[in-house]
Structure 1
Amino acid sequence: MKKVFTTVLLFVTTITFAQDQYTKGMQKAFQLWGEGKASEASNMFERISNAEMDNWLPYYYVAQINTIASFGEKDKEKLTQQLEKAQEFIDLAKAISPDNPEILVQQAMTHTAWIAFDGATYGMTLSGKVVALYAKAETLAPDNPRVVFSQAEWNMGSAKYFGQDTAPYCKDVERSLELFANFKPESDFHPNWGKDRAEMVAENCNK
């Protein structure tokens, strides 16, 4: 009986230690990102993913950091390197958590970064995929504020590109703000971004 108790205690202690290391690692990665050290943060999330192989979150953040860094990037070689890495980690995240609306939004954003870089080259092949991704995410999580807002922002960008009115999508942005106000992430590390940008877009809608 004593041996069984010792084994259980050791197991619980090991799990607790691993969880503590995960928490510290994620906190450090977010701290680095907040300090503008995106590359270091990405590397930290990647190291965490190597230890947390059944957890989609660190993979997701590697993809997100590399995607965000690619918007506005003019160097095609650097952009390609970043977006290929983002795609690699999206694929890994999807393998762990299929049909995850947060990952679908991230995939759409990565495609959008390619389109933003060269619409003539990538728009024809990727625009339809972005529309399909947002449609699927909306079906899975119609009340997820990032799904609602990101889809609205994509629709606004498409409307601008084709010289159409963006006003019809302002109501979706406003709806996303209502959803952001009531949204509670599953943990401190689950996606919880987008409210600030939605507020900025909503403000421009009202001008």
Structure 2
Amino acid sequence: MKNLILSMLLMGATFVNAQDRYSKGMEKAFELWQNQKMVEASNLFERIATAEPDKWLPYYYVSQINTIISFGEKNEEKLSKQLEKAKEFIDVAKAISPNNPEILIQEALINTAWIAFDGATYGMTLSQKNAQLYQKAMELAPNNPRVILSKAEWDMGSAKYFGKDTTPYCKDVERALELFATFKSETPFYPTWGEERAKEVLANCGK
């Protein structure tokens, strides 16, 4: 009995230490990201993902960073490597956490980076995929402000492309901004981005 209790205590201590390492690693990765050390942050998130194969968030952030740095990239070889890595990691995240609206948005963002690089090549096929991704995300999480904002921005971009008025989507951005004030997740390191972007979009809405 004594040995059993000791074993349980040791297992508990090991779990706590593992969680502590995970938390400290994630905090360090975010610190690097905040200091604009994008490659270093991505590499650390990747190491955490390798050590924590059952957690979707490190994979998500590797994908997100590699996507963000791809916008504006002119070198096709470099862009391809970054976006292929982003897709590889978001696919793993999706396998860990299926039907996750945050992951669907990130997947759509990868497609958007390809479209921004070469709309003539990727516009038609990936635009249709994005419409489906945003629709599914809305069905899964109609009150997630990032989902509402991302879909609204996508709809605005599509409207501009076809010479249509973007004003109807301003109300969606307003709603997203309202929801940012109250949206909470109990999952540590859950995505929180979007509020500042919503303010920027709303400030220029309908102009």
TM-score range, shorter chain: over 0.9
User: CA-atom RMSD, angstroms?
Assistant: 0.9
CA distance in 1, matches of 2:197, 2:186: 21
- The residue that corresponds to 1:167 in the other structure is 167
Shift of 1:54: 0.5
CA distance in 1, matches of 2:90, 2:189: 17
Letter in 2 for 1:10: L
- The residue that corresponds to 2:36 in the other structure is 36
CA distance in 2, matches of 1:35, 1:135: 34
- The residue that corresponds to 1:138 in the other structure is 138
- The residue that corresponds to 1:157 in the other structure is 157
Matched position secondary structure for 2:190? coil
CA distance in 2, matches of 1:158, 1:85: 26
Shift of 1:206: 6.4
1:191-202 pair list within 5 angstroms: 191-202=191-202
Count of matched residue pairs: 207
8 Å contact kept, 2:63–2:87: yes
Shift of 1:164: 1.1
- The residue that corresponds to 2:76 in the other structure is 76
- The residue that corresponds to 2:182 in the other structure is 182
CA distance in 2, matches of 1:126, 1:182: 32
- The residue that corresponds to 1:7 in the other structure is 7
CA distance in 1, matches of 2:206, 2:72: 26
Letter in 1 for 2:97: S
1:42-61 pair list within 5 angstroms: 42-61=42-61
Letter in 2 for 1:30: F
Structure 2 unpaired stretches of 5+: none
CA distance in 1, matches of 2:25, 2:109: 25
Q: 1:206 to 1:119 in 2, by over 3 A?
A: closer
Matched position secondary structure for 2:31? helix
- The residue that corresponds to 1:27 in the other structure is 27
CA distance in 2, matches of 1:80, 1:113: 10
CA distance in 1, matches of 2:206, 2:122: 32
- The residue that corresponds to 2:105 in the other structure is 105
Deviates more, 1:183-192 or 1:54-63: 183-192
Matched position secondary structure for 1:205? coil
Shift of 1:162: 1.4
Deviation string for 1:105-162 (max 9, x for gaps)? 0000000100011100000110000000000000000000000000000011111111
8 Å contact kept, 1:185–1:192: no
Q: How many percent of aligned residue pairs carry the same amino acid?
A: 67
Letter in 2 for 1:96: I
Letter in 1 for 2:56: W
- The residue that corresponds to 1:124 in the other structure is 124
CA distance in 2, matches of 1:136, 1:104: 8
CA distance in 1, matches of 2:79, 2:167: 32
